[in-house]
Amino acid sequence: MKGLGLCLTFVFALIACESSAPNTTPQPPVADILIASDMPITDFDGSAVPWQHAIQLALDQHHGKIGRFKLAYWSLDDTVAGAALQEKGIQNLERLQDDHRVLGVIGSGPSYVAAAEIPIANANPVPLVILSPSNTRACLTRSQPACYAAADELRPSGRNNFFRIAPPEPLQGAAMARYLVQHLNLRRAAAINEMGDDGMAYIDSFSDQLAQLGGELVLTKALDSGTMDFSEFMANARAKGAQAIYALGSPDDKVCVAASQMSPGMLFLGTDNFTLAPLCVKQAGDAANNMFGTLADVDATQLPDAKKVVDEYRTKYPATDPGSIYTFAAYDCANILIDAIEYAINANNGEIPKRIDVLNAVARANARYRGVTGTYTFDANGDAKDPLMSVYQVKGGQWTFVQRIDLV
């Protein structure tokens, strides 16, 4: 605990120093309308840099204009000491709130920062739209017993201003059940849960979708993380006719060892807790090629219809990887905002709209935003009705993109 206290003291000291130091935060560009972002640009792995590039690409493709108005991108960084920090995100959102030219924000990276930012952007009298490519924490839009705050507590104005194309985490369960039945033609599964209540949310989603498609979850077993012997569970699953094992857990806790103990012919299914993880492949051993996993993103570099946009990205930003997670989700978010602002301008007789008009345009029920990662319409909670979702399979010892999976 002392180490944590020292770390937090160091982080807050950095913020204090930053506030007293000369202002090095990027100043807003000169434009009539601004689309902004708040993301961890300078975090340790630099994962948000490609998102920043993808957003700028979207604006460049519109030639920096919406109608007769000059459009520009203002990128803010919520990183302190190499990690995204709520307090920095709040500072950034307050700054964006104060500039009337900002009509929408893309971000944040992690869900815990979004939880702090949503109420700031939601405050009366002018809720500011936040559109996220990456926030998957279910609590941001759906109140659940384990939530750190009820969804309505994040919205003091009483109306929703937060939208996301990334799925609430448990929907990965429904996506995997749909893939199991519709693409693998299997209908009986058993589930391992090493994630407690969070894991049960995935399993409930998996089980409900499986039942809707004529399948059945025949066995669910809660196990301690770090379990190494799955033989009793596997025997019971086999006796109940399970054709696949749905596993909720982490390769760091050895959950993929269970794959090595399956009966021949069984499949091992999971979520982004281990999808793309080389350690999971290693733990599964000879059974690795029987593993499938969902990912809350769509790799546009694998989609033929997205080739033109991906090639443009590679030409403009050759030093960054266009296949990085959420890169083209950020690109799609930028285009959704551009579309909504354009719609609001037209509805406002060609004049710059108010923020509330842009919010209403994003939320309108008949909108269908066609992006490179999917086509998006939002429900009343701000969730995409058919969110980002992919299925991967291990082939030849490597996680390999299979396809986008639709939930509509």
Q: Give the per-residue pLDDT at 258.
A: 98
Q: Tens of pLDDT along 146-164?
A: 677 778 889 999 899 999 9
Q: What share of the chain is helix, strand, coil (3-state, %, to 5)?
A: 40, 20, 40
Confidence of residue 37 (pLDDT cuts 50, 70, 90): very high
Would you call the peptide bond into 133 cis, given omega within 30 degrees of 0 as the criterion? no
Q: If you search the block for the tokens 């039945």, which residue do you land on?
A: 181
Q: Give the per-residue pLDDT at 145.
A: 67
Confidence of residue 13 (pLDDT cuts 50, 70, 90): very low
Window from 16-25, 235-244, 282-291 with minimum mean pLDDT: 16-25
Question: How many C-alpha atoms does 16 have within 13 Å on its Cβ side?
Answer: 6
As a whole number of angstroms, the distance between CA 388 and CA 390 comes to 7
Q: Tens of pLDDT along 104-116?
A: 999 989 999 999 9
Structure tokens at 271: 């979520």
Q: Give the per-residue pLDDT at 23.
A: 39
Q: Give the per-residue pLDDT at 16.
A: 41
Mean pLDDT of 49-71: 96
Nearest Cα neighbor of 199 from 142, 146, 242 is 146
- The end-to-end CA distance of the chain, in Å, is 46
Give yes or no for residue 22 having a pLDDT over 50.
no
Confidence of residue 47 (pLDDT cuts 50, 70, 90): confident
Q: Which amino acid is at 305?
A: D
Q: Which amino acid is at 297?
A: D
pTM (predicted TM-score): 0.91
Sheet with strand 65-66: strands edge to edge: 65-66, 69-77, 33-39, 102-107, 130-132, 162-164
Mean pLDDT of 107-132: 92
Structure tokens at 212: 């809707």
Give yes or no for residue 176 having a pLDDT over 50.
yes
Give yes or no for residue 140 having a pLDDT over 80.
yes
Q: Tens of pLDDT along 248-289?
A: 999 999 999 999 999 999 999 999 999 999 999 999 999 999
Q: Give the per-residue pLDDT at 146.
A: 67
Confidence of residue 26 (pLDDT cuts 50, 70, 90): confident
Give yes or no for residue 6 having a pLDDT over 70.
no
Give yes or no for residue 143 having a pLDDT over 70.
yes
Residues, the chain: 408
Nearest Cα neighbor of 330 from 48, 89, 41, 67 is 48
Please work out, in degrees rounded to the nearest 5, the angle formed at the alpha carbon of residue 381 by the alpha carbons of 176 and 305. 50
DSSP bridge pairs for 84: 79
Mean pLDDT of 353-359: 97
Mean pLDDT of 179-183: 98
How much of the chain exceeds pLDDT 70, in percent?
Answer: 93
